[in-house]
Amino acid sequence: MKVLFRTNSAGPECRYIVADDFVKGNYLVVFGYGIYTTSDFKTPHYIGGLSNLNGYVNGAKSLSRFSYINGIASSPTTDRHIWISDQDNSCFRTLDRLTNITSDLTGVCGGFRRILDGDFASAEVAYPFGMAVSPSENKKIYFYESSDGRIRCLLQVGSIWSIQTITNLNEDIAGLTFDPTGTFLYFTTNSSIMRVSSTWRSSPETIISGFGHNDGALNSAKMRESKYLHFLDSQNILLTDYKNHVLRVVDLTQSYVSSICLLQSSDVSALGVQLLHAN
């Protein structure tokens, strides 16, 4: 599950939360420009970057610097490494969990922003967004190239890892994930939820479309800058409706949307304080 919220309007944001495959039962948390692991969201353990300092530097723990991190996924070949989408540095990075050393994975970090498919040594990215792991395809991680609206993929063919363009969406995506079977890639925009078949042979279809706040049937539901979405099961999606400050559930079987709770500042402030003092 991935959640986006602001802990302090004047300080770093908690930008990303995902299960920690290296330490079972833990979660990886991106807070500002730092990466942490925690089991209870009360005691964070720092593994890379600094929450309040951005940049581009490889190295161990506090020596490393990241820019805008908007995706993290375990390496498809080993849980020892996490792959990081470093959007404003125009590249992907990798962090070794045993040594806590960060290094380049692919793309030209801090270089000229360009889109170029190819093996990891030659491929280039501009503004990579998100990392969606396909549950039905081994060794494939999809991301959105926000500079020109295409879906690209980190994949292994034989022994060679490369980046390939998969399809053009021409949508301004705010979040993306696969359903549990890997049949569809779902994504959010400013006012919609859409999906595209993982065969990539058909155009995207709209699930919800409408700006505002309205629960009920999918064809009349509205939302405001929804961000991340997570499948609770094969037919129910948990959605963060960012500008409406609510969590919502999309029931695909009943074709219905429900708001379930408000995000309370008291729920996140303690985590923010802990992470700010963990460097």
Residue 27, domain member (yes or no) = yes
Position 11 scores a pLDDT of: 58
Residue 9, domain member (yes or no) = no
Q: Is residue 154 a contact partner of residue 144, using CB atoms and an 8 Å limit? A: no
Residue with tokens 């925009």: 189
Residue 5, domain member (yes or no) = no
Residue 9: pLDDT above 50? no
Residue 79: pLDDT above 80? yes
Residue 76, domain member (yes or no) = yes
Q: How many structural domains is the chain composed of?
A: 1
How do residues 221-252 score in pLDDT, each as one tens digit? 999 988 889 999 999 999 989 888 899 999 99
What residues make up the domain containing 127? 14-276
Residue 2: pLDDT above 90? no
Residue 20, domain member (yes or no) = yes
Residue 6, domain member (yes or no) = no
pTM for the complete prediction?
0.88
**Side-chain-facing half-sphere of 207: CA atoms under 13 Å:** 24
- Kind of pairing, strands 184-188 and 175-178? antiparallel
**CATH code of 52's domain:** 2.120.10.30
How do residues 184-205 score in pLDDT, each as one tens digit? 999 999 899 999 999 999 999 9
